Every structure is written in C-alpha cells, then in structure tokens.
Structure 1
C-alpha cells in the first residue's frame, strides 16, 4: 500500500447510481479511507446521458465505439454528467458524512483539453494542468467529485472519456488509480480472478479469446493508464472493500511493461 500522502483516484461509472445501496456503501468506505489518505472520485455517466438524450428526442451515434457528440448535444451531456450524476454522488457523499465538492475537468485549470477529431464532434483528449485547486480541496479534507466534462482553450465544452479523465487526474496528482465497476476484475478461461496482468499475459488471454469485447476495452484502457502513470492500475468491483483492493487482496492489477521486473 502506498504512503498516506499519495492520493487514491477512484473512477466509477454512472451505473453505480443505479444501485444506491452499493453507492452509499462505497461512499462510507471512502469516508473511512479518508482518515489516512486523500481520495478523489472521478465519474462517468453514459447510461444517464443516453436516457436524457432519448427524452430530448436526440439521436446518439458512435464511430469506432466512441460517442459522437455534436456541440448542440453538449448542454444535455453536461447536464447529465456535471449536473445530475455529479450531484447525486455528492448527495451520497453527504449522506456518508463526507464533505464533497462537485467539479469538472475544466474547473480551476485542472486540465487542458484538445478536440480528438472533428468527426466525433465535441469529444476531448485531456492533458494535466494545475493541481492547485485539488491541493486546496484535499488539504481542507474535502472529497473532490469530478465529472468528465472539459473544455479547450477557447472554452468549447468537450465530452471526455471517464477512464481518460481519471488517468489524467491520477497523473496530475501522482495518485494511485482504481477503476471500479460491477466486475470483480479480469477473469481467466476458468473464471478465476487474474491478480496481476502484464502485457504478455494480456496478449495471451486475448489470443485465446478469453479477454474480449467490453472487458478488452476496459483492460486496454487500464494498460494505457498504467503505462502513462508508470505504476499499476487496479480493476476491481465497487462492491468490494477498498481496504482489500488497496492491499491487493482482490481485483486485477494491470502492470505496465516498465514495472514487470519490479513486481
């Protein structure tokens, strides 16, 4: 387990909000963890975006698995992510006895974003900016709750992939990154949890057809994040104990190539 001055950056998907009991339990565990370590919560909310777009009779399409986000959709996307999802998580934090501050990637110069490709519309790629706002919030004992809405230098609002958002926040703060969802980690062909996954093991499991589809996307994002951060990234279930995850008792640690010899 890392030293207490290393923040824990926890990324959750919007699906967490579909199970309020598990979400409340996670926030209770975050409160306990905050007694010894700073915590930053980064979230997505794709399902909530889809629901709201549908209610507004707006059609959402994808290219290469990425959501095309026209600028005219951004008020709805921002409302779902930086509004509803963010404030629901903040409310759960308050209920757990935590003091949250709901912000986005664009606040306080946390990140700078550039447009990925105009064919995707207002979709951004983030890079680290200033940690000053986060430093202040963490020093004050608050829980930053960060939505994946960013902007470019001209103030154009951009929709950012939540895994990338969490990675850039971990990069900015030197934090340990946990990617939490409704799966316990990466399973092998016998449905047994893989505790440590390096590039060679990943290629082997992909070639055998074990890691595929949505899990492949998740693992590749984790591997990219681990490489970018030069430290392992953990994929685990949000219903598991944070203490167990942080002490490597559960979940899958995705190990970048540079770290293999040191594991």
Structure 2
C-alpha cells in the first residue's frame, strides 16, 4: 500500500524532472568538460554516483569529457616503490623514475577505474591520455621541475569522432613532447586547455571546497573574470584557489562559455549545476552580458 510519504516523494521527483526540462533542452548537444579528482575518486559509492550522473548527461544529449587527476594514488605508489620525491618551490620534480609511475597510475589504474565505473552504469566510455592521437602536445614548464609540461597544442579531432559515436572520453593528464618525451600535466590545466580547444559550453572543476568565497566567507555564485582578478589582487582569493581561478580565466579567454568551481563531494553536483535553476558552486564568465 502506498504511503503518503511515498506519494510526496514521487510528486517531488516528478516536479524536479519537469522543472529540469528547459535545462535539458538548453544543454542538448553541448560539450561539457569535467575535471574529476579529490576525495570522490577514492570512494566507491561516490564513484558509482558520479558515473551514473555522467551516463545520464550523455543519455540526454550532453557530450561530457572527463579529465582526471590521481595525486594521492601516485603518492601511494611512489611510497610503495620507495621512490623519493624532490620538490622545488613546493612543486614535485618529475624525473624519469617518477614519470614512469605517474603514467602507470594515471593511464592505468585510475583511468580504467573511471572507465569501468561509467560502463557499469550502462554508458560507453573509453580511456585516453593526452599522448593518444596527438591530443595534447606539451612544452616543458620549467627545467627545474623535470618532465612537467604545459599544453601548447591541442588536437580535439578524436574527441569529436567519439562524440559522434556516443562515446564518453576519459582523459589522463599526460602529454607528448616534441622530441618523444612524456610530460605530466596539472589536471586542471589539461582540462582547461581541452575545454578551450573544444569551445566547450562549460568547464566544471570539481574540488573539495564549495566554490570561490568572498571577503565575508560566503560562496559567490556568479562572478566575472574582472571580479576574479580584483579578488586575487585584494588577497581574497589565495592559496590553492588561485591555480583554479587562473585555469578558469585562461579557459574563458580561450573560448569556454563559462567555468564552474564546485564541490565534487556533493552528491549529483554536476546534475545540480547543469539542470537546476540554482546550480552549484561558483560560476565564472567573461561578463554578465
């Protein structure tokens, strides 16, 4: 026998689906690049929920592209193999031994875990790195940091082929050098460069914080590029948020319509951002026009 509570829950669900219709129509055919990392990657239940959301996005006509990190897994493997890390100005030096571990972990364990999670939910995902099909060509970022690269050229033609086939690309942030090197790329940087090359409608940077906070400590839901620059100059944006907002600004300048910094630990955060009126996290765009 149906209870009143069950009826209320179903009515609320139906209302939510009905209210989502304009947003489903708005994003049909859109390209959305998602940088996935943080605590959600290490939790099986969170991974399952995230994968289901990505499959739903593809089912309603969105073209999602996932770019993932894997820092904690890399650190664990380096420790297991007794490979000592060296740092310059707080940044890890990626020597050849470290690079071998980075590629093994990112292109292997981490990438295939995400691909499997999406496929288990009924999607069709394929794992790539930036080295495949000349997707990402890199220049060395700083000789002191070793095999760390900055994207210089992006060839998104393979990604468009995968969109046409209904396949979800899952990309490890590695790139090829001009002389046969393999470079490790910051995941946010790789996601921003790919989003710009695709002229993506949205770049979603999933983090372990709610978004960009203002001087009063409250999350700011709508920001322009100029506001981000001013908040950085004023010291309101500081620490680990600076690289993320710099990625957002570079992506917007490169042609991405808007960037959202949001908490990847929140259940269904990507669906809330795309398909509800209130969204999630901090949306950054060139201007309010």
Same structural fold, with TM-score higher than 0.5 when normalized by the shorter chain: yes
Per mean C-alpha deviation after superposition, the further-off stretch among 240-249 and 23-32 is 240-249
Q: Does 1:253 align with 2:283?
A: yes
**Deviation at residue 170 of structure 1 after TM alignment:** 0.8
Q: Does 1:221 align with 2:251?
A: no
Change (3 A) 1:230 1:83: closer
Q: Distance in 2 between matches of 1:84 and 1:226?
A: 32
| Structure 1 residues not aligned, in runs of 5+ | none
Q: Does 1:235 align with 2:265?
A: no
8 Å CA contact 1:150–1:159 kept in 2: the answer is yes
Q: Does 1:29 align with 2:53?
A: yes
Q: Distance in 2 between matches of 1:130 and 1:227?
A: 18
In the other structure, the counterpart of 2:208 is 182
In the other structure, the counterpart of 2:68 is 43
Q: Does 1:156 align with 2:181?
A: yes
Q: Distance in 2 between matches of 1:32 and 1:69?
A: 37
Larger radius of gyration: 2
8 Å CA contact 1:99–1:141 kept in 2: the answer is yes
Query: Secondary structure at the residue paired with 1:90?
Result: helix
TM-score calculated relative to the size of structure 2? 0.82
Query: Secondary structure at the residue paired with 1:213?
Result: coil
Q: Distance in 2 between matches of 1:207 and 1:125?
A: 24
8 Å CA contact 1:128–1:169 kept in 2: the answer is no
Provide, for residues 204-257 of structure 1, a one-character-per-residue CA deviation record: whole Å limited to 9, x for no partner: 5446654322223322332233233353211012224323212562210123xx
Query: Secondary structure at the residue paired with 1:74?
Result: helix
In the other structure, the counterpart of 1:88 is 113
Q: Does 1:122 align with 2:150?
A: no
Provide, for residues 41-88 of structure 1, a one-character-per-residue CA deviation record: whole Å limited to 9, x for no partner: 000111111111111111223323432101222111101111111111
TM-score calculated relative to the size of structure 1? 0.89
Q: Distance in 1 between matches of 2:207 and 2:231?
A: 21
**Deviation at residue 115 of structure 1 after TM alignment:** 1.2
In the other structure, the counterpart of 1:143 is 168
